[in-house]
Structure 1
Amino acid sequence: MSTIDYGIDLGTTNSAIAVLRDVDTEVVKNNDDRDTTPSAVWIDRRDRLYVGRVARERAEVDPANTALEFKLRMGTADAVSRFAASGRELTAEQLSAEVLKSLRGDVQQRHGVDLSAAVITVPAAFDLSACEATSRAGQLAGFASTPLLQEPTAAAFAYGFQRESDARWLVYDLGGGTFDAAVVQIRDGEFTVLTHRGDNYLGGKLIDWQIVETLLLPELQREFGLDDVRRGNPRWASVVGALKLAAEAAKIRLSRVDAAEIFVEVDLGTGQREEFSYDLRRADVERLTEPYLVRSVNLCRRALAEANLTPADIGRTLLVGGPTLSPYVRERLKDGLGIEVDHSQDPLTVVARGAAIFAGTQRRPAPVGPVAPGKVTVALEYPPIGPDTDPLIVGRLSGSDDFGGYRVEVVNHDAQPAWRSGQVPVNADGIFSLQVVALKGRRNGYRIEVTGPDGTAVPASPDSFVYTVGAVETSPLLTNSIGVGLDGNTTEWVLNRGTPLPAHGKVRLRTTVEVRRATGGGMIRIPLLEGEHPRANRNRRVGMLELVAHQLASDVPEGSEVQVRLDIDTSRLITARAYVPLLDEEFEEVVALRSEVVETVEELSAAVDGELQRLSQLRERQPKTGSVVAEMALFRIDSEQLVAEMATLLAAAEGDADAAATCGRRLLDLRAAIDEVEDALEWPEQAKDAESLADEASRIAVRMGDDHDRRRIDEAIAGARSAIENTDSRLLTMYTDEIRQLAIAVLDRSGQLDVLIFNDLESRRNDFVDPGLGTSLLSDGRMAMARGDRQALHNINVRLRGLLPVPPPPPDPFSTVRTG
């Protein structure tokens, strides 16, 4: 094979591998003759490791030695699973590697192929650190090459690979632990992902936990008279784990029936196992599913709005992921979005199939080594899959010092009749180009024939290649903005969301500490963030850019410049370089990617309490302002039941690392949602203050400024009014700051600024710590004003400010004074 051809869906709950056959895909079945393998690992007391169905089943009776759903912890700082009986500890990427090894083994058994390369899919919402961890898992599993592909893009490949007409789709990918919504366009045989929204902590497992915590545990406690049986209590981990797996299985059965019995034998600490049964009804599951569907639909709507599209612009919603098998999910999606749903593909394997199609576009690395005497090596540059029926093939021969007189011919023996390109001359450097004819609906195989100057055949390696007419992705997009966190809780963006990949970006920063090489003191540490929020702590910290003292040739003083360059490839794998101009040194690989669970349960609890208090205060303000935008933001918080979910996650976080991680992510969501309410409530006041400031600054410019002042202030006022028209709070803040500074500069130049400051300080005379000195200075100040001595007045203002208990920042002249 000249192309990779195998694609893997590495899922939270189940994983699958598929291969591209001609223009069709085949899912490789495992030892159980099933299309999917549970993403589960069990290690027994004799240190034997099992993957798949056996491990999944052991989770019910031996949770202390079983790991599930570890995909959600990929790339996080604390991602270790401990196996009690064997004493082993494995990270999330090591566990994922075991699943990948199992899938490789299935290919070896079914196809006799020792697989060295495969495409692996990741959620589009995955953090950079999680993508890097996935790539490392591939290496641990023995793969030499593992290009990463976003899951919604893979699904679109499966649905539209051989499609010839243009289309625009919404990919709705609700998996076991993650959710992605992507707007995909096919035009002239090329895919484009227009926009994306997603959530790494939204999936079917949340519904499973709701069934357990809302329905099963209360009934279990009532029936057996138990106390404190809850998720997060280590004493009941085995019971809760068994109920979770039973709830998932029953939920799946409810896709076809109205009720499903849950029957579990549980150890309640009495020395014998007790039988627990519960009749789970579809209506109950639908009620518990609703908040998560609302959240997913809201993300879909945001994706459409960002692409400037409405549901009427979308042809179909493509369903991906096991939870979309539910009739309720399908009906709710159709009603909620008004778009016809398409479930023509198996939602459990569609991502693996799409990954296999994409793998057909990825060439295997050519072997490196000396060319055998009498042979030539052929290196080709062309897309193995593309929309063209007559693609251009560019190649280069190696193995001779001079290729003058050589010719190349390409032959397709599968065509009827056989097709030949005719002999094409090769230049002295071995370079040639030609066009081939490709048939639709099949994989076209071509043989390469090389002849020497005397017309004799020369053996070539490789001596064949393939090309398929089909839809391809033009360029993947960066799904989250990437930036660095700075002092003052601000963010400096390096690469913006939606940037085509591969890409690079640069940022110039200043150190805030001195780094002393001799003593090893100090370190340049720059948080790497993903998100869209201007406040640094509202984004996800996914790593750290670090320069330590021993790397530096000499000391670096505080305030020194550091230039950082970030490079990100099509798999969203990132590298970073730092250049220190003072030293004229560049440092490579200075980024350590690792998403951090930064808060303990106690810190999470305190943070949640603070946000709920802020939310309560904003609820009281909203009716007084009548802000419709704030009301809608509050409705979204309520409809998605963020507050109730936070309470449930907090209760489970103490003994459940997954619950703690999800709680931390939901806290970011809640903060951002409350920020939206707060901004909406403050907007009318902000806009009103901006208009007043603009009027006052305009009068100052007319009375005291020159033509240049008036022009610059008018331009800033026009920008502010445009921001008001577009309800852009951040832009309005920027323009109002500019207007204020320009007007203050005019006041200062005219001599009026110190007069305004003096009048403000005089109004605070009762606060002076030395009233006698204050009275004397005020008298001197009035005399300085009378004789027009600006410098003396300025010096007196400085001394008066020093008499205040806590010297305030320079007063805003527009808050206390209006020129007439």
Structure 2
Amino acid sequence: MDIGIDLGTTNSAVAVLNGVQTEVIKNNDGRETTPSAVWIDRRQRLWVGQTARDRAEVEPENTCLEFKLRMGTAGQDKKFTGGRTMSPEELSAEVLKSLRADAAARLGEVTAAVITVPAAFDLSACESTQRAAALAGLELTRLLQEPAAAAHAYGFQAIEENATWLVYDFGGGTFDAAVIRLRDGEFSVIGHRGDNLLGGKLLDWRIVDELLVPVAARQHRELAGLERGDPRWNGAIAKLKQAAETAKVRLSRSESAELCVELPDDRGRRFDFDHELTRAEVERLAEPLVSRSLNLCRKALEELGLGPGDLEKAIMAGGQTSMPYLRERIADPRHGLGIPLDFTHDPMTVVSRGAAIFAGGQPLPRDWGVSEAPAQGTYTVRCEYPRVSPDLDPVVVGQVTSPDGAPAAGMTVELSNEESDPPWRSGRLRLTDQGGFTSTLRAERGRQNTFHIALADGEGTVRAARPDRLAYTVGAVETEPMLTQSVGVGLADNHTRPLVERGARLPARRTVSLRTTVTVQQGTGGGLIRIPVLRGEQARSDRNPTIGRIEVGAAEVARTVPAGSEVRLTIEIDASQLVQVSAYVPLLDETYETEVSLLAEPELDRDRLVAAAEAERLRLAALRERQSTVESAVAGLLLQRIADEAVEEDLERLLAAGRTDAGAAAEADQRIRELRLQLDAVEEELAWPELVAEAESVVIAAQDLVAAHGSASDREDLPLLEREIAEAIEAREAASLRTRCERLRTYTTRVLDRAGALQPLFFAQLSQEQSTMRHPAQAARLIREGERARDAGEQERLRAINYQLQDLLPGPPPPLDLSSTVEST
């Protein structure tokens, strides 16, 4: 493939592989990076790059920045004052067009590229990136995760054969922590944690909100109402944001940076604002963001059972890693990670260089992009072999066809590399009757090996061949990429059924059998088969975002589909993390397909966000109060992390900015989701002692009941269920413990039922609910009949009466209390 592109939140870059060296292609301004910015001027001309970024201070209403963060999300279009509206993927397409043009000026026509995306990118955002590439005129694209790209740059010609690295990628808008394992010239991502909304832009906004705005209001009384999120101050806030970003970069090399900005108000008046920003101030504001990134790194390592001592180095990627404070915190063994840092490559361009290396090893599909037909009398040679691999002796399999398309039988082919030391030749290889041949090459490290192809007929006459050479490079390659977020379906009981789990190697294909819960009446409009496709690892469906769905209604079925009918769901995920889902209904012999292309979230309602944020704040306060009495060490640590990462403060700022900034509203929504999951974990920890006590009570009750009513085989099976509960307690898996307790309850209930003890016990429990039942007279009559059936030992009659009593309850019957059952027996 042609080029590698790092499509960044703040800046983008494009690179190409030349031999074993990468070259970052400079733009028309002579710079290696191009700002990811779009400006539409008053004449409706569109500008990309530095010119657009500079205009953001003057015309924020006609400029758009940081749109990468909104890829794959609905309701995030930019409305320019001239009437034009552009989606995030259309804006990204303009940046890709600019990078493609820069590459074409250097290389000629470019139609194929590898484009990097954050490893934490949603599946919908990946698909949106593919669409942006198509809009930019790139006919063939492959997506590559940014940490893997950085690993390509470092590992391509690495001399280490066995190593484990951490990629710490802190960019302008996203963060990825990926654990890379290098083994015998192959590397793979074996662990990952990331945050699509953790980047340098958050620090820029913290500088604006907490430092610059208050100082500006003090310097000029007329700016007292200056506030992010108030449309009157959009121009002034945009200027402060750009000034903060510029000063932050300067502070990487000095202890202070002077800001001088002219701030406009809503009446057209202008005020000179100056402030000396210090490195210490920025480091204080950066601390919660750095803490969040380090916590993600620790989580990625913990999931693999690794510690800092198991890693050889941490690879730095992303512009934020130039901050001295951040580097010191990562390297600090006590407060950071204690892993040696590697800055061999420029963090600003390492991802584009790695993408170029990956692109250089990707063969184009057969017959794709073939230009003119071969010259008359030319033989065509097709070779299958790895373009890049760690092997010094790769195998090439080829086939030669004659000018008329027939196999070139009876000929010979010879491969040679005169540039190697010593020169190498394969010797003449006789083609098979089908024109095929196989050869083992000999390659050298540190350069691209070029092998010439010499084709000769039976008399030894050399014939023209196309192509007449092949190239091969010895270098580390990535094995199958890893899925960074599980993909599953939501079930009717609000449980998630995983289909392709996090960590699976791509491409992947899974099929699962499901059952419908409603009847779809053909032709009546009644019923709907709805299969929501989810991403995430949460057991509760409502805790995972929906990325698509299959819906089959009455108008789409040829006959009635009763509840309980089988549906076979198949999901396919390719190496670029693009998803396709199909549902086959055997009863109809029909397949319903969908590409998971639904935008990640609907347009956000700010009032709903404010209410949701307030609910989580109250929940957080209640959990802090509960922790003060329970004093769970793990819950305390989780609550401290929430405080260290300043989640509440971030939410407050984002909600304020969300009044006018759709991007801030989307970030607020994401932060609320994350806080909700963090609080779920705290609740699990605080409830753990109670859950363990409940499990122990269930086990004791089961032992007594099985001893009193169970058979010999029941008594043999019980220890297996007890062991499952003990394992869940030892592993501290709350969800698993609840499931296994319920399994033991069900088992014990069946033992009681077989022994004839269940229905009398259940009847006794239902009798206690008589005062709450509807139709008191009918309830009293049934209870009298039940007493007679119980005394007569008529089990089935008593079962029927119990069912009728259940129907009179205002809600579902309470579960059978096994501990009280033990006492009564």
**TM-score for the superposition, normalised by structure 1:** 0.95
Matched, 1:158 2:153: yes
The Cα offsets for residues 14-53 of structure 1, whole Å up to 9 and x where unpaired, read as: 0001111111111101111001000001111211111000
Deviates most, 699-708 or 632-641: 699-708
* Residues 762 and 51 of structure 1: CA distance in aligned 2, closer, same or farther (over 3 Å): same
For 1:817, the aligned partner's letter is T
Matched, 1:616 2:611: no
For 1:187, the aligned partner's letter is R
For 2:132, the aligned partner's letter is A
Alignment partner, residue 316 of structure 1: 313
- Secondary structure at the residue paired with 2:801? helix
Alignment partner, residue 189 of structure 1: 185
Alignment partner, residue 811 of structure 1: 815
- Secondary structure at the residue paired with 2:112? coil
For 1:719-738, what aligned pairs fall within 5 Å after superposition?
719-738=724-743
Q: 1:397 aligns with which of 392, 396, 400?
A: 400
Asked if the contact 1:255–1:327 (Cα under 8 Å) also holds between the matched residues in 2, the reply is yes
Alignment partner, residue 385 of structure 2: 382
The Cα offsets for residues 533-574 of structure 1, whole Å up to 9 and x where unpaired, read as: 111222222223344666554554444332221111111122
Alignment partner, residue 510 of structure 2: 505
Asked if the contact 2:114–2:359 (Cα under 8 Å) also holds between the matched residues in 1, the reply is yes
* Residues 616 and 579 of structure 1: CA distance in aligned 2, closer, same or farther (over 3 Å): same
* Residues 558 and 780 of structure 1: CA distance in aligned 2, closer, same or farther (over 3 Å): closer
Matched, 1:99 2:102: no
1-structure distance, mates of 2:362, 2:616: 47
Asked if the contact 1:320–1:347 (Cα under 8 Å) also holds between the matched residues in 2, the reply is yes
Asked if the contact 2:69–2:173 (Cα under 8 Å) also holds between the matched residues in 1, the reply is yes
TM-fit CA distance, 1:121: 0.6
Asked if the contact 2:627–2:636 (Cα under 8 Å) also holds between the matched residues in 1, the reply is yes
Alignment partner, residue 762 of structure 1: 767
2-structure distance, mates of 1:608, 1:398: 67
Matched, 1:439 2:436: no
2-structure distance, mates of 1:493, 1:394: 40
Asked if the contact 1:481–1:493 (Cα under 8 Å) also holds between the matched residues in 2, the reply is yes
For 2:463, the aligned partner's letter is V
- Secondary structure at the residue paired with 2:140? coil
Matched, 1:62 2:66: no
Alignment partner, residue 145 of structure 1: 140
2-structure distance, mates of 1:105, 1:248: 27
Any stretches of 5+ residues in structure 2 without a counterpart?
none
* Residues 762 and 551 of structure 1: CA distance in aligned 2, closer, same or farther (over 3 Å): closer
TM-fit CA distance, 1:771: 5.3
Q: 1:793 aligns with which of 763, 775, 798?
A: 798
2-structure distance, mates of 1:686, 1:698: 18
* Residues 127 and 655 of structure 1: CA distance in aligned 2, closer, same or farther (over 3 Å): same
TM-fit CA distance, 1:508: 2.5
* Residues 385 and 402 of structure 1: CA distance in aligned 2, closer, same or farther (over 3 Å): closer
Asked if the contact 1:693–1:814 (Cα under 8 Å) also holds between the matched residues in 2, the reply is yes
Q: 2:647 aligns with which of 635, 642, 665?
A: 642
Alignment partner, residue 631 of structure 2: 626
Alignment partner, residue 327 of structure 1: 324
TM-fit CA distance, 1:284: 0.9
For 2:390, the aligned partner's letter is P
Asked if the contact 2:261–2:274 (Cα under 8 Å) also holds between the matched residues in 1, the reply is yes
Matched, 1:212 2:208: yes
Alignment partner, residue 681 of structure 2: 676
Alignment partner, residue 250 of structure 2: 253
- Secondary structure at the residue paired with 2:110? coil
Asked if the contact 1:380–1:395 (Cα under 8 Å) also holds between the matched residues in 2, the reply is yes
Asked if the contact 2:806–2:813 (Cα under 8 Å) also holds between the matched residues in 1, the reply is no
Matched, 1:467 2:464: no
Alignment partner, residue 566 of structure 2: 561
The Cα offsets for residues 718-765 of structure 1, whole Å up to 9 and x where unpaired, read as: 111111111111211221111111100111111211111222233334
- Secondary structure at the residue paired with 1:440? coil
TM-fit CA distance, 1:396: 2.3
1-structure distance, mates of 2:673, 2:374: 57
Matched, 1:486 2:512: no
TM-fit CA distance, 1:371: 6.5
TM-fit CA distance, 1:269: 2.6
For 1:617, the aligned partner's letter is A
Matched, 1:45 2:42: yes
TM-fit CA distance, 1:380: 1.8
Alignment partner, residue 720 of structure 2: 715
Asked if the contact 2:409–2:432 (Cα under 8 Å) also holds between the matched residues in 1, the reply is yes
1-structure distance, mates of 2:123, 2:232: 36
- Secondary structure at the residue paired with 1:57? helix
1-structure distance, mates of 2:492, 2:376: 63
2-structure distance, mates of 1:808, 1:344: 65
For 2:57, the aligned partner's letter is E
2-structure distance, mates of 1:278, 1:748: 79
Q: 1:118 aligns with which of 113, 137, 157?
A: 113
Asked if the contact 1:757–1:811 (Cα under 8 Å) also holds between the matched residues in 2, the reply is no
2-structure distance, mates of 1:223, 1:764: 71
For 1:352, the aligned partner's letter is S
Asked if the contact 2:374–2:466 (Cα under 8 Å) also holds between the matched residues in 1, the reply is no
Asked if the contact 1:694–1:717 (Cα under 8 Å) also holds between the matched residues in 2, the reply is yes
Alignment partner, residue 659 of structure 1: 664
Q: Percent identity?
A: 49
1-structure distance, mates of 2:395, 2:446: 19
For 1:659, the aligned partner's letter is A
2-structure distance, mates of 1:406, 1:574: 46
2-structure distance, mates of 1:789, 1:356: 79
* Residues 549 and 789 of structure 1: CA distance in aligned 2, closer, same or farther (over 3 Å): closer
Matched, 1:235 2:238: no
Q: 2:125 aligns with which of 105, 122, 130?
A: 130
Alignment partner, residue 363 of structure 1: 363
Asked if the contact 1:547–1:590 (Cα under 8 Å) also holds between the matched residues in 2, the reply is no
Asked if the contact 1:512–1:559 (Cα under 8 Å) also holds between the matched residues in 2, the reply is yes
1-structure distance, mates of 2:338, 2:706: 54
* Residues 127 and 496 of structure 1: CA distance in aligned 2, closer, same or farther (over 3 Å): same
For 2:284, the aligned partner's letter is R
Alignment partner, residue 284 of structure 1: 281
For 2:745, the aligned partner's letter is R
The Cα offsets for residues 104-125 of structure 1, whole Å up to 9 and x where unpaired, read as: 111222x241111111111000
For 2:476, the aligned partner's letter is A
TM-fit CA distance, 1:316: 0.9
* Residues 729 and 234 of structure 1: CA distance in aligned 2, closer, same or farther (over 3 Å): same
Aligned residues: 814
TM-fit CA distance, 1:514: 4.8
For 2:624, the aligned partner's letter is R
For 1:3-14, what aligned pairs fall within 5 Å after superposition?
4-14=1-11
- Secondary structure at the residue paired with 1:467? strand
Alignment partner, residue 746 of structure 1: 751
Matched, 1:167 2:163: yes
TM-fit CA distance, 1:244: 0.7
1-structure distance, mates of 2:801, 2:206: 67
Alignment partner, residue 354 of structure 1: 354
For 1:475-624, what aligned pairs fall within 5 Å after superposition?
475-515=480-520, 518=523, 524-547=529-552, 552-597=557-602, 599-624=604-629
Matched, 1:690 2:695: yes
Asked if the contact 2:39–2:62 (Cα under 8 Å) also holds between the matched residues in 1, the reply is yes
Asked if the contact 2:218–2:224 (Cα under 8 Å) also holds between the matched residues in 1, the reply is no
**TM-score for the superposition, normalised by structure 2:** 0.95
2-structure distance, mates of 1:99, 1:15: 8
Deviates most, 519-528 or 631-640: 519-528
For 1:384, the aligned partner's letter is R
Asked if the contact 1:524–1:547 (Cα under 8 Å) also holds between the matched residues in 2, the reply is yes
2-structure distance, mates of 1:492, 1:178: 28
The Cα offsets for residues 597-635 of structure 1, whole Å up to 9 and x where unpaired, read as: 464111111111112222222222223222211111111
2-structure distance, mates of 1:623, 1:84: 53
1-structure distance, mates of 2:582, 2:790: 56
- Secondary structure at the residue paired with 2:43? coil
